[in-house]
Structure 1
């Protein structure tokens, strides 16, 4: 009888360990997506003066280096808006993230005109 209880306890512990592993994987994938979106938006904002194509090309390069997929990229004035998607290990889903980066206007100054 004790063997049956021990086998049941081991199965329950293994099931719990599997669930914790999946949960940890989801958290890491989400963090990877958020970090990649932030870096891609900063890279695009740094190239905003060169136009959308150059800025979003830089964001694409950063996204590829971070092993995520660039879903969207656009400029809103000097601000870069980026969306990425990161695949979870083992094909168990994906996580997406949005980020915005651009200059901060100083108090008492007008914002700079948008690039063309």
Structure 2
């Protein structure tokens, strides 16, 4: 092989290493983004469940106050925002929807908020 053949390959390992580093950084950013979205979705589901239970207990008279105010208080305590609260016709069953902001600022990517719904009410009257 002549020197001319080697000189045409000069710098190719730098390009390959740079591409490998960029790919690794993009993979890490993707994993972090997925982690942030998953965490927010799980947090929203938990907050919705707890808010619905608190609202249902209040609607049934087990706690004093307004059912939707109780749901909002519990949602905010779990870093969620109460989007809707509906007391069903029976007066003891409540449906809530909450949202949780997804906090991931790497690469300037913005995600919509994670949301979850839950329904809670009185236990069934018959036992099996």
Gaps spanning 5+ residues in structure 1: where?
Answer: 109-116
TM-score, normalised with respect to structure 2: 0.76
Q: Is 1:97 matched up with 2:116?
A: yes
- Deviations along 1:31-82, one digit per CA (max 9) or x if unpaired, are 11111000000000110135xx711110010011111110111211211111
Residue 86 of structure 1 is matched in structure 2 by 100
Number of positions where the alignment pairs a residue of Structure 1 with one of Structure 2 = 106
Q: Is 1:41 matched up with 2:55?
A: no
Query: Which structure is larger by alpha-carbon Rg, 1 or 2?
Result: 2
Shift of 1:7: 1.0
Shift of 1:107: 2.6
Shift of 1:2: 1.3
Structure ranking higher in strand proportion: 1
- Deviations along 1:71-101, one digit per CA (max 9) or x if unpaired, are 1112112111111111100453211111001
Gaps spanning 5+ residues in structure 2: where?
Answer: 1-11, 105-109
Distance 1:59 1:10 in 2: 47
**What is the CA RMSD across the aligned residues, in angstroms?**
1.6
Q: Is 1:71 matched up with 2:44?
A: no
